[in-house]
C-alpha cells in the first residue's frame, strides 16, 4: 500500500515542480512603463515598496497607491502615508477589504473607477506575480500590468511560498473565480 502512494506522490512532485518553477520563480512579467497609477501590494516592504517608490519618483505614474501603508510594518510606507504631500506624485493609502490580494485588486478597481484610470502598474514579488496578474486583470478588465521586484524573501522561504501560491492559485481557478 505504501509503495503505490509513494509513487503517486513522486509523480505529482515531478509534474508540479517544473510548473511551480515556471509560475513562481521565472514568471513572465510586464515592463514598468507609463501608467495612470502604481500600486504596491502589501507584504515584503523591503523589496516591493522601495521599487514602487523608485518608479513613482522616476515619473512612471503620477499616483502611488500603497496597500496597507498606514498600518504597515514598513516604517517608510507608514511615514509616506502619514505625510502624503510634497513627493512629486500623489500618494493614496489603501486598506484592502478583505485583507488579501483579491481585496487589493477590488480596492484598485474602486480607485480606478473613481479616478478613471485606464492603466495600472502592480508591483509585487516574483513568487506572487502570476496570481496577482490573474486577479488584477480580472478586476481591471485587462488594464493592469504586473512587475516583480525579485523573490521577496530568502531562498529558504521559496518552497513554502511556492506551495502556498499553488494552493491559493487553485482557489482562484476553482471557488474564487470572480473579481
Q: Which three cell numbers stand for residue 175?
A: 471557488
Q: Is the pLDDT of residue 153 over 60?
A: no
Give the model confidence (pLDDT) of 59-85 as tens digits: 999 999 999 887 777 788 888 999 888
In the structure, what pLDDT confidence band is assigned to residue 157 with cuts at 50, 70 and 90? Answer: confident
Half-sphere exposure of 31 (CA within 13 A, CB side): 2
3-state helix, strand, coil in the chain (%, to 5): 50, 15, 35
Q: Is the pLDDT of residue 16 over 60?
A: yes
Half-sphere exposure of 68 (CA within 13 A, CB side): 19
- The pTM assigned to this predicted structure is 0.88
User: What's the chain's length in residues?
Assistant: 179
Amino acid at each position: 500500500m505504501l509503495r503505490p502512494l509513494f509513487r503517486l506522490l513522486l509523480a505529482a512532485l515531478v509534474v508540479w515542480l517544473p510548473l511551480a518553477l515556471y509560475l513562481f520563480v521565472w514568471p513572465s512579467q510586464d515592463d514598468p512603463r507609463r501608467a495612470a497609477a502604481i500600486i504596491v501590494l502589501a507584504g515584503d516592504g523591503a523589496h516591493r515598496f522601495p521599487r514602487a517608490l523608485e518608479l513613482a519618483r522616476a515619473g512612471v505614474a503620477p499616483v502611488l497607491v500603497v496597500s496597507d501603508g498606514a498600518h504597515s510594518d514598513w516604517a517608510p510606507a507608514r511615514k509616506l502615508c502619514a505625510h502624503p504631500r510634497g513627493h512629486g506624485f500623489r500618494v493614496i493609502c489603501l486598506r484592502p477589504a478583505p485583507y488579501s490580494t483579491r481585496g487589493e485588486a477590488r480596492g484598485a478597481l474602486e480607485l480606478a473607477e473613481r479616478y478613471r484610470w485606464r492603466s495600472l502598474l502592480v508591483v509585487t514579488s516574483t513568487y506572487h506575480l502570476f496570481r496577482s496578474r490573474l486577479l488584477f486583470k480580472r478586476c481591471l478588465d485587462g488594464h493592469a500590468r504586473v512587475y516583480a521586484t525579485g523573490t521577496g524573501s530568502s531562498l529558504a522561504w521559496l518552497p513554502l511560498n511556492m506551495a502556498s501560491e499553488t494552493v491559493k492559485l487553485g482557489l482562484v481557478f476553482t471557488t474564487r473565480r470572480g473579481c
